């Protein structure tokens, strides 16, 4: 007859057996994935390929995310071309930098308040969002609300956050003040208009002369723009006569360069600041000497990635929640096109401007 153990030892044996069983259990594995890869820098339509990626074992604190949507940003194209300052290592780089996904599986020791089905974004953003499943450490993922359109959750970081930071980081603006910007039809530009309106700031906006300019002007006005001028309207000495009752702007945002930057500078008041965050025209910013001497103009630059790398992760997440709250309230919106992942080639063509002016392309996985 087997000898019975005292009750305390029986409990201890059961606990040890349970722990032994837990320690030998296989770690969760991600499903097979499809990813947009490149092994060398070059034109996206020449170097990108869609490939199958094998399943990945999750570490103890890893989270497997099924991607829902990810945009094609100009900076994504620049990384693929090899002209962006920070790029993923080659070969085998996965495209994409921001996006939204749904928690699929959790490692056994994850402590973050995440559950399968939650919507998450990489925050700060990280390389490799153009794939169907991603496995990364829990610290990468930030849970976001799921009661907004997925394309907004996918695009909230790079462009709207840039707009918010520029409005807050350079000049103290008070309700009733004004800013001026070029590239106003961009998502950053549209976000600036709406965020400024929320805080009682007036916006003066400059857009290019092109077919559809009048329609674009009307759309910006509907978003809350106070004034919208085409570049050809500003070919005059004293553009400030166009402002009417609006104050001279203390702050300007330049994403174009060249002549568009020069037109923006005309509006700035004494001691004003122009912040450059892009150079779409690929032309230099040229400033008359008199602007420095007699107007004391300041020129600054803004790069979101540098800001996010300066111990701002928690601030970044708080601001993303704020921005998605505005989306939910209908106070922040911009034009995008959701396009199936299977139509990657078409989405890239549109993002590269091969089909004329197009809204932001967002891939749906």
Contacts of 164 (CB under 8 A, 6+ apart): 191, 195, 319, 322, 323
Cis omega (within 30 of 0) for bond into 210: no
pLDDT on residue 310: 66
pLDDT on residue 25: 58
CATH assignment, 9-155+335-364 = 3.90.180.10
Tokens of 210: 């092109």
pLDDT on residue 200: 98
- Answer left, alpha or beta for residue 22, where phi above 0 means left and psi between -120 and 50 means alpha: alpha
| Domain ranges for the chain | 9-155+335-364, 158-306
pTM of the shown model: 0.89
pLDDT on residue 17: 41
pLDDT on residue 237: 83
User: How many Cβ atoms sit within 10 Å of the Cβ of residue 232?
Assistant: 9
Closest CA to 180 of 59, 266, 102: 266
**CATH topology assigned to domain 158-306:** Rossmann fold (3.40.50)
Question: Which residue of the set 38, 84, 291, 322 is catalytic?
Answer: 84
3-state DSSP of 290-349: HHHHHHCCEEEECCHHHHHCCCCHHHHHHHHHHHHHHHHCCCCCCCEEEEEHHHHHHHHH
Chain centroid, CA 195 distance in Å: 16
The yes-or-no answer on residue 84 being catalytic is yes
H helix or E strand, kind and range, residue 218? helix 213-223
Asked if 36 and 341 count as a contact pair (C-beta separation under 8 A), the reply is no
Tokens of 222: 């509907």
For each of the chain's 365 residues, which pLDDT tens digit applies? 444 444 444 443 443 343 334 445 577 899 999 999 999 999 999 999 999 999 999 999 999 999 999 999 999 999 999 999 989 999 999 999 999 999 999 999 999 999 999 999 999 898 999 999 999 999 999 999 999 999 999 999 999 999 999 999 999 999 999 999 999 999 999 999 999 999 999 999 999 998 889 999 999 999 999 999 999 999 888 898 999 999 999 999 999 999 999 999 999 999 999 999 999 898 999 999 999 999 999 999 999 988 887 677 678 999 999 999 999 999 999 999 999 999 999 999 999 999 988 999 999 99
DSSP 249: P
């Amino acid at each position: 007859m087997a000898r019975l153990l005292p009750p305390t030892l029986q409990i201890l044996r059961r606990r040890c057996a349970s722990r032994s069983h837990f320690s030998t259990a296989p770690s969760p594995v991600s499903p097979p994935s499809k990813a947009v890869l490149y092994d060398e820098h070059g034109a996206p339509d020449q170097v990108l390929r869609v490939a199958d990626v094998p399943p990945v074992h999750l570490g103890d604190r890893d989270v497997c995310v099924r991607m829902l949507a990810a945009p094609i940003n100009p900076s994504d194209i620049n990384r693929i071309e090899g002209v962006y300052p920070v790029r993923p290592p080659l070969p085998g780089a996965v495209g994409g930098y921001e996006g939204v996904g749904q928690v699929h599986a959790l490692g056994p020791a994850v402590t973050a308040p995440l559950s399968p089905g939650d919507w998450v974004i990489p925050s700060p953003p990280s390389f490799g969002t153009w794939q169907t499943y991603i496995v990364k450490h829990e610290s990468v993922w930030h849970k976001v609300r799921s009661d907004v359109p997925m394309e907004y959750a996918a695009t909230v970081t790079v462009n709207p956050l840039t707009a918010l930071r520029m409005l807050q980081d350079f000049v103290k603006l008070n309700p009733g003040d004004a800013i001026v910007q070029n590239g106003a039809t961009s998502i950053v530009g549209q976000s600036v208009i709406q965020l400024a309106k929320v805080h009682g700031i007036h916006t003066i906006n400059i857009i290019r002369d092109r077919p559809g300019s009048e329609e674009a002007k009307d759309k910006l006005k509907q978003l809350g723009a106070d004034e919208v001028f085409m570049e050809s309207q500003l070919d005059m000495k004293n553009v400030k006569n166009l402002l009417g009752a609006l104050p001279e702007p203390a702050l300007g945002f330049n994403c174009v360069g060249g002549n568009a930057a020069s037109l923006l500078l005309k509006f700035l008041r004494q001691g004003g600041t122009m912040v450059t965050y892009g150079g779409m025209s690929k032309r230099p910013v040229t400033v008359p000497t008199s602007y420095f001497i007699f107007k004391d103009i300041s020129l600054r630059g803004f790069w979101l990635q540098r800001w996010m790398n300066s111990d701002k992760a928690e601030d970044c997440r708080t601001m993303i929640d704020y921005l998605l709250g505005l989306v939910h309230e209908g106070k922040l919106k911009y034009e995008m096109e959701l396009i199936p992942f299977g139509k990657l080639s078409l989405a890239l063509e549109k993002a590269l401007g091969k089909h004329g002016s197009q809204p932001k392309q967002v891939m749906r996985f």
